[in-house]
Structure 1
Amino acid sequence: MRISRIEIANHSRIRDLALEVRGHAVIVGANDVGKSSVLRLLNLVLGSTTGTLYQQLGISDLRDPTTDLAVEVTLIDFDDADRTLFTSEIDVNMADKSETLRLRMTVSPDPDDAQGVNVRRWFPDAGHQRAPSRDQLLRIGWRYLPANRNASSAALDGPNSALQTLLRAIELGTERSELADLLAGFNTKLEASTAIGELRANAASHLSKAMPRTVGKDDLSVRTASDPDEDVLGGVSMFFKVDDQHVPMTAQSDGLRQLVLMTLFDLAEGTANVVAIDEPELHLHPSSQRTVAELFSTAGNQKLLVTHSPYIVQRFEPADVIAVNRDGVCHQIPNERLSAVEKERINWWSPRLIEVLTARYVIVVEGLTDRVIVERAAELAGIALDRIGAVVFDIDGAHKFPHVYRLIGSAGFNVQLLGLVDEKEKAVWHGAIGGKPARVFGTTLFVSAPDLEAEVCAAFGGPAAAQGLIDGGYCKKEDILKSAGAAELGAVTAEAAAAYCRAGKVSAATALASQLDGATAANIASVNALLQRLVSLDSAS
């Protein structure tokens, strides 16, 4: 059994959504956009008692307090045991014989209590309004590890820890009696020990003084915590062996404790159908993040992850990724575009791209030269790109734009896109986006004519551009004069300065960016137009 669809409406933190869960689900986004709220709601629907629902849900969870909050989860892929337990709840499509199980939860404002709510949870296709039974919830097999977990001693090795769950599940067979005999023998030795007998006698004497009754030596026993007759592994733990020393799990680093906690949790929940983990990357080095993601992506059960980590996202298929933008809107690749996107995965499914998926706006530029100038111009214009959720994404070559657009454009993750392109490449970019030129150029695509080097040098003016290259450490005076065929800086033209810049694009752009001021930056026509469009979009949102 696994989740195939999630629908949420009227939640205070999440925009209304209807998501397909194709295999695993990896929800990625910036901070404070409601990612964790998705898992929290699923945990309430699939894994919580009725009492817990009322404890954790309130009127503040409703975006519109006059309308119901609704969460619906659709499950598929049943075995015979599932069909037996959900006899009337599983719906069978008569046309294609497909089976689905829908579980719905609504949170309604209480008409008699302004701050109260009424919570219902039921199977809409069952023909009855009964809430799911405890056995049915157990059969769904939902397990959840929240982001506020801690890798404490209790979590790693306590009675309810994943390690103890694994130990209790071990079938010892004939070894059980052998271990029980060893424990019993050890306890007998402890009982007969003279030194330990003295300890018991001293403890009994002191306890007798503090208690209303006399305590004798034989009233106390020193023995193993494990009962040989009941649970021979009850007091057993797991250690790392380092230089012939046994080091407890709890003595490891924060990152290693988190890694152990998640790994053992996943192993202990091997019989679970759906395992949800919020921020699996906590305290983990990127290499460990990749390792954990590989473990999760190849697991037999379904994983639902919420993450900020590009290294984790990269290990999953694009079809599994749900990107939440800064406005709380969820995007995933449409079914009909999956095959086209898959072709781009090898070259473009990288940590660099993952940041773009969570942005409100992406400014696509040809290369690092353009990125340096755009980011500096935005800074001088007082436009905080991070604050408004804009990312400048250089694609290392204008010809690569059609491939990138398949992933992040309207047919992919549908990120709001603005592009900066040189004049000779504009047809390639326009062809990828489509649409009438009048609706694309000046609103989505902005053209540097003939290229950005020319526009930047024109904004400075030839002599000032030459001086900027010198002051920015790109060249010596004699070098720019020789290249421009000029006797003095005042004779250097903007065209000559631009031609000189093209020989060392990134270094030249860095030098000129360091010499830009607000007035000069505002005169870089294509960049200024793009930034003004960005401000306009942000103001309208």
Structure 2
Amino acid sequence: MKVVQLRIKNFRGIESAELKFDGHALLLGGNNVGKSTICEALDLVLGPDRLSRFPPIEEWDFYNGKYLEPPAAEGEDPKPVEMRIEVLLIELSPEVEKRCAKNLEFWHVAEKRVLDEGEVKAAIPGIAIPCLRLETLGQYDPEEDEFSARTYYTHSPDAIDGEKQEVQRHIKRLFGFLYLRALRTGSRALSLERGSLLDILLRLQKVRTGLWEQAIARLKQLDIEKDAIELEPVLTAIEDKLSNYVSTTKPGRKTKLFITQLTREHLRKTMSFFLALRDDQEAVPFQQAGTGTLNTLVLALLSFIAELKPDCVIFAMEEPEIAVQPHTQRRIAEYLLNHTTQTFVTSHSPYVIERFTANNTYLLTRVAGMPLQATCVVDATGLKENDYKRYVRRGLAECMLGQGVILVEGVTESHALTALARRMEEQDATLNPLDLAGVTVFDAESDGQIPKFATFFQALGIKTFGFYDFKKRTTVEKAKFTSSLDVDEEHPYKGFESLIANEVPASRIRAFLQELLDNGLDTTQYKVPATIPTDDAAIQKLCIALLSSAKGAGWAMRLLEGSKANDLPATAVGFLNKVYGYFHPPNPKPSAPTQNNTP
């Protein structure tokens, strides 16, 4: 079973949205763009227990907290605002098709739309498949002063007077929808509250126990008075006083102390799963385990549930990377992709992002006054799947989560510009550190690749800055750089090594070469003379040869890291200053007032 379409109106931070999905979905976007809201919306429609709460929704579940329209005219009552969420499901399980047969419609696979009633001839197997549309409607009832929310079949042919047929909870359980909220599910996952993972697990295995009745009976049988005989005269005195005002016919003692007055619902909330993690440790409440252990325990429960319903599990999971190691993050993502029919994941972790394909990665964007957009990365950027897979682990994933990308054509430039930025930030406290501003250096491996990746990042709404070597280019070739880069910096040298050799003082290069020799540099391998030349031109030539022969050694980076402010290459410094101009410090300190000493 899969969700292929989601429509949202007036729910939380989303005024309107129409989103289409094709299988698994990794949801990317800035904070408060709507990632969690999408998961919550799916839970309202597909989750069997969300609407059982009272109230099922509240004021701030409506867009901007607006649940009443002002009256059209003075004296009239305000009109309730409708909140609507619609989900379209395909690849239905046989049991869902059977139970919901009267409510089924047909989905045109190629055209990705629901067939109209007059298109019976188009309902050909293979071309059109059964689908099920569900919608949750929420609104405020002024007469009852309550909020209500119910889920209905969009197609309800048997409904009376045009009213839609309501979807019952036992039907929702067939959808297999599970929602793991970041930082929230763990606190109740292993409790026995209704809707907790442990409760779902017991229900799926059709476990029915007399746990609650037996527990309550045992608690009633606990005689705490015999362990506190000093209470006897106090209770007897209370009964004597009570008899003056309340007539009772029960013989003997009329009062008794019980250990608790908990009901079965209270017990569900207070009962806790205990866990022993070490040989020298007694079992403790699971909430006291580390956050990473807790999240892993939750995943174990989720995987257990998925194995019970292998053909019908839809997961929605917020930030599975929280408090777990990178290899565990990868395992979580791998499990979701291979053992669920569909998963919706929000994440800020490159280790999770790299596990999803470009076809399953959606960028969420929202502009004031416009509907929320979820654009598949492939459709938005044109980057081929093979390129995406190749570069996603080499920094593409981290760049996609940032605010800006510096695109360079080699590993030497990548290391050197990173080091240069650090030196500039150390020397000028007014600069906003690029790594904290969300700017990443990305090695495109060649100048020809820069426009392709710049176009990709631009489509994701990320600022792009290019720094590359001089080369004779046609007007058309140069236009590719100019159109795809916010800052297009073609430096005047035919290689970055030449830039370093010509713009870093020879005295600094000479000192650096001596450092390498003192640290045991193999002069034979790198053809460096045992005695450093005194001629500046010879130093420049030697610097170019050395940096070119070992691009991955990080020597350009080390050269700049040890340089003073006036030794740094002016062209690269000028380029980075343009980048800094896009990212000002978040809370700049007000400058001190100037003193006017004029008499």
Instruction: Compute the TM-score of the two structures, normalised by the length of structure 2.
Output: 0.63
Distance 1:242 1:17 in 2: 49
Distance 1:16 1:532 in 2: 37
Question: Which residue in 2 is equivalent to 1:295?
Answer: 335
Code of the residue aligned with 1:499 in structure 2: it is A
Question: Which residue in 1 is equivalent to 2:591?
Answer: none
Q: 1:176-216 CA deviation, whole Å, 9 max, x = no partner?
A: 99x9xxx99xx9xxx9xxxx99x763357736734745987
Q: Cα distance, 1:255 vs. partner? A: 1.9
Q: Greater shift after overlay, 239-248 or 77-86? A: 239-248
Residue 127 (structure 2) pairs with residue 78 (structure 1): no
Code of the residue aligned with 1:363 in structure 2: it is I
Q: Cα distance, 1:358 vs. partner? A: 1.9
Q: 1:210-249 CA deviation, whole Å, 9 max, x = no partner?
A: 4745987998999xx9x9xxxxxx9896755865987356
Distance 1:326 1:336 in 2: 15
Distance 2:447 2:477 in 1: 19
Q: Cα distance, 1:345 vs. partner? A: 6.3
Contact 1:423 1:447 in 2 (8 A): yes
Question: Quick one: which of 557, 560, 567 aligns to 1:513?
Answer: 560
Q: 1:276-333 CA deviation, whole Å, 9 max, x = no partner?
A: 1212222222232233333322223422222222323333444322345899975423
Q: Cα distance, 1:137 vs. partner? A: 4.7
Distance 1:37 1:103 in 2: 18
Code of the residue aligned with 1:267 in structure 2: it is F
Question: Which residue in 2 is equivalent to 1:57?
Answer: 61
After superposition, residues 209-228 of structure 1 pair within 5 angstroms as: 209-210=234-235, 212=238
Question: Which residue in 1 is equivalent to 2:456?
Answer: 409
Alpha-carbon spacing, 1:533–1:254, altered in 2? closer, same or farther (3 Å): closer
After superposition, residues 11-410 of structure 1 pair within 5 angstroms as: 18-29=18-29, 31=31, 33-47=33-47, 48-49=50-51, 51-60=55-64, 72-83=86-97, 84-85=99-100, 87-88=102-103, 90-91=105-106, 93=115, 94=119, 95=122, 96-103=127-134, 128=162, 130=164, 132-135=166-169, 137-149=172-184, 151-152=186-187, 155-160=189-194, 161-167=196-202, 170=205, 201-203=226-228, 206=231, 209-210=234-235, 212=238, 239=275, 243=279, 247-248=283-284, 250=286, 252-268=289-305, 270-271=308-309, 273-324=313-364, 330-334=374-378, 340-341=384-385, 343-344=386-387, 347-350=390-393, 352-378=395-421, 380=424, 382=431, 384-386=433-435, 388-394=437-443, 397-398=445-446, 401=449, 409=456
Code of the residue aligned with 1:385 in structure 2: it is L
Distance 1:75 1:307 in 2: 24
After superposition, residues 463-482 of structure 1 pair within 5 angstroms as: 463-467=506-510, 469=512, 473-474=515-516
SS in 2 for 1:509: helix
Kindly report the root-mean-square deviation, in angstroms, between the aligned alpha carbons of the 2 structures: 5.6
Contact 2:3 2:90 in 1 (8 A): yes
Question: Which residue in 2 is equivalent to 1:441?
Answer: 481
Distance 1:438 1:119 in 2: 57
Distance 2:440 2:256 in 1: 72
SS in 1 for 2:128: coil
Code of the residue aligned with 1:498 in structure 2: it is I
Q: Greater shift after overlay, 20-29 or 372-381? A: 372-381
Q: Cα distance, 1:450 vs. partner? A: 0.8
SS in 1 for 2:56: helix
Contact 2:62 2:83 in 1 (8 A): no
Q: Cα distance, 1:355 vs. partner? A: 1.0
Q: 1:485-541 CA deviation, whole Å, 9 max, x = no partner?
A: 98525555644433333234444312332255666657326x745763785699xxx
Code of the residue aligned with 1:451 in structure 2: it is G
Q: Cα distance, 1:453 vs. partner? A: 1.3
Q: Cα distance, 1:371 vs. partner? A: 1.7
Alpha-carbon spacing, 1:205–1:104, altered in 2? closer, same or farther (3 Å): same
Alpha-carbon spacing, 1:297–1:307, altered in 2? closer, same or farther (3 Å): same
Contact 1:286 1:311 in 2 (8 A): yes
Contact 1:469 1:512 in 2 (8 A): yes
Q: Cα distance, 1:483 vs. partner? A: 5.5
Question: Which residue in 2 is equivalent to 1:230?
Answer: none
Distance 2:397 2:345 in 1: 15
Q: Cα distance, 1:438 vs. partner? A: 3.3
Question: Which residue in 2 is equivalent to 1:231?
Answer: none
Alpha-carbon spacing, 1:60–1:119, altered in 2? closer, same or farther (3 Å): farther
Distance 1:390 1:293 in 2: 26
Question: Which residue in 1 is equivalent to 2:578?
Answer: 532
Alpha-carbon spacing, 1:235–1:496, altered in 2? closer, same or farther (3 Å): closer
Alpha-carbon spacing, 1:494–1:15, altered in 2? closer, same or farther (3 Å): farther
Distance 1:535 1:8 in 2: 38
After superposition, residues 419-434 of structure 1 pair within 5 angstroms as: 419-423=466-470
SS in 2 for 1:322: strand
SS in 1 for 2:417: helix
Distance 2:226 2:175 in 1: 54
SS in 2 for 1:488: coil
Q: 1:12-65 CA deviation, whole Å, 9 max, x = no partner?
A: 856976543222222245555543233233334544439433444245268xx9
SS in 2 for 1:303: strand
Contact 1:13 1:61 in 2 (8 A): no
Q: Cα distance, 1:370 vs. partner? A: 0.8
Contact 1:408 1:415 in 2 (8 A): no
SS in 2 for 1:284: coil
Alpha-carbon spacing, 1:415–1:536, altered in 2? closer, same or farther (3 Å): closer
Gaps in structure 1 of 5+ consecutive residues: 228-233
Contact 2:18 2:373 in 1 (8 A): no
Code of the residue aligned with 2:283 in structure 1: it is V
Contact 1:28 1:323 in 2 (8 A): yes
Code of the residue aligned with 2:556 in structure 1: it is A
Contact 1:323 1:358 in 2 (8 A): no
Q: Cα distance, 1:454 vs. partner? A: 0.8
Identity of matched residues, %: 20
Distance 1:519 1:131 in 2: 76
